[in-house]
A = this chain, B = another copy of it.
Amino acid sequence: MTIPASAAGGAGGRRSAPTVKDIARAANVSPMTVSRVLSGGNNVRPQVREHVERVIAEVGYRRNENARRLRQGNRSGLVGVLITNIGNPYYAGMLQGVEEVVAKTGRRIMVGVTNEDEQLERQLLSDFLGRQVEGLIVVPVGEDPDRFSIESLAGVPLVLASRSIAGTSADAVLLDDVRGALEATERMLAEGHRRVGFLGNQVSVSTGRRRLEGFRLAHRRLGLEPPDELIRLGQQDVTSAEQAMDSLLDLADPPTAVFAANNRNTVGAIRAISKRRTAARARHGVVPTVRLFGFDSFEFADMSPVPLSIVDHDPTELGRIAAQMLFDRLSGEDTRPGPRLIELPVHLVDFA
């Protein structure tokens, strides 16, 4: 048997996949016969069918899924997912949930990482739309709703995950950020703390804004106002969070309790407190205590060297729900014209 020339090539080199014509030539039958065998073998003599199937097995023909999907009306079978950072276990968990649900529909996820960069997000969105994604799941950066307008997305359904953008008509699944921050802060105030620090993301990010809102709300319900010097915003990694916590502890009148509004800030706060405690023990000094509350759990929360309470939730479930909302739109099951908003419950867990 002759293997078609287009299927040959160097071990690691590129070569194009054999086409129906290549198979037909190798099997010495017409392309129509090959096509019939590929689509089930109707109207083909069994002997011929077996022969063609053998050639296909040897040559390794594969249907060009992309071309087939294009012919069937631009269904790429791809869902575009934009997250800000894979290194943050929160987003890794979310991605896991999205992939799980997308894979069940036979589709695949295409993943882009925006690194909190609006310009990069815009490029990735445009690129994903150009690749005919059937839907988008995005953790958005910034506050500009224009890029998410129905016109900008050419009608491709979008679900915003974890963060919302005011002024978009996109579906969104969020955590109940306000309630989580409210309950955590109310607990600290009920324990008698009157100088409570806040470590959070910038307020241009909806989670940052909403969690700060819950923090303020808890104070106002008691007729209090948290002083600005106790609020540190914009830390997006553990190192800057640790520095922010250090700056709080270095205040003339430091906070006795701190609310860290996401896992990066919680981990940074634990590091800062832990470092000071170790240093104090080494010089037999007074070991400082700070009551710490965090938002988002993480693997070692229950073994933290600093006693900790956490506003807990399930990022994998959030990912699953985001994908499910997208498929409700895609399948036409959800035809409501307005945006749909789901806020997932959160709950306080004490790691004493």
Tell me the A250-287 residues at the B interface (CB within 8 Å). Answer: 267, 270-271, 274
User: B74 to A17, Cβ gap below 8 A?
Assistant: yes
Q: Give the interface segment out of A4-12, A26-34, A210-218.
A: A4-12
A335 at the binding interface (Cβ < 8 Å): yes
User: A12 to B337, Cβ gap below 8 A?
Assistant: yes
User: A12 to B335, Cβ gap below 8 A?
Assistant: yes
Taken together as a complex, chains A and B put the C-alpha atoms of A300 and B302 apart, in Å, by: 12
A110 at the binding interface (Cβ < 8 Å): yes
Chain B residues with CB under 8 A of A234 = none
The smallest C-beta distance from A150 to any residue of chain B, in angstroms, reads: 6
Chain B residues with CB under 8 A of A74 = 16-17, 64
A112 at the binding interface (Cβ < 8 Å): yes
User: B64 to A130, Cβ gap below 8 A?
Assistant: yes
Q: CB within 8 A of A67: which of B70, B86, B298? A: B70
A294 at the binding interface (Cβ < 8 Å): no
Chain B residues with CB under 8 A of A227 = none
User: A65 to B337, Cβ gap below 8 A?
Assistant: no
User: A73 to B127, Cβ gap below 8 A?
Assistant: no
User: B131 to A77, Cβ gap below 8 A?
Assistant: yes
User: B270 to A151, Cβ gap below 8 A?
Assistant: no
A206 at the binding interface (Cβ < 8 Å): no
Chain A: interface size category: 35 or more
User: B270 to A303, Cβ gap below 8 A?
Assistant: yes
Which residue from chain B places its CB closest to the CB of A331 in the assembled complex? Answer: B14
User: B157 to A12, Cβ gap below 8 A?
Assistant: yes
Give chain A's interface secondary structure class.
Answer: loop
User: A14 to B131, Cβ gap below 8 A?
Assistant: no
User: A92 to B103, Cβ gap below 8 A?
Assistant: no
Q: CB within 8 A of A155: which of B13, B96, B267? A: B13
Chain B residues with CB under 8 A of A337 = 10-12
The smallest C-beta distance from A106 to any residue of chain B, in angstroms, reads: 8
A78 at the binding interface (Cβ < 8 Å): yes
Which residue from chain B places its CB closest to the CB of A130 in the assembled complex? Answer: B65
A174 at the binding interface (Cβ < 8 Å): no
The smallest C-beta distance from A55 to any residue of chain B, in angstroms, reads: 13
Q: CB within 8 A of A60: which of B17, B66, B113, B151? A: B151
A111, A129, A152, most chain B CB atoms within 10 A: A111
A113 and B99 contact, Cβ closer than 8 Å, known pairs A60-B154, A270-B303, A271-B303: yes
Q: What are 28 A-B contacts with C-beta separation under 8 Å?
A: A7-B155, A10-B335, A11-B338, A12-B329, A12-B334, A13-B155, A14-B157, A14-B332, A15-B154, A17-B74, A17-B155, A62-B129, A64-B74, A66-B132, A78-B110, A86-B95, A86-B96, A96-B113, A99-B111, A99-B113, A100-B113, A103-B112, A108-B110, A108-B112, A109-B111, A271-B303, A300-B300, A303-B304
Going nearest first, the 5 A-B pairs with the smallest beta carbon separation are A65-B130, A300-B300, A92-B92, A15-B155, A86-B96
Given A13-B332, A85-B96, 10 more pairs with CB closer than 8 A: A7-B154, A11-B150, A62-B130, A62-B154, A65-B127, A86-B92, A89-B92, A89-B299, A271-B303, A303-B305
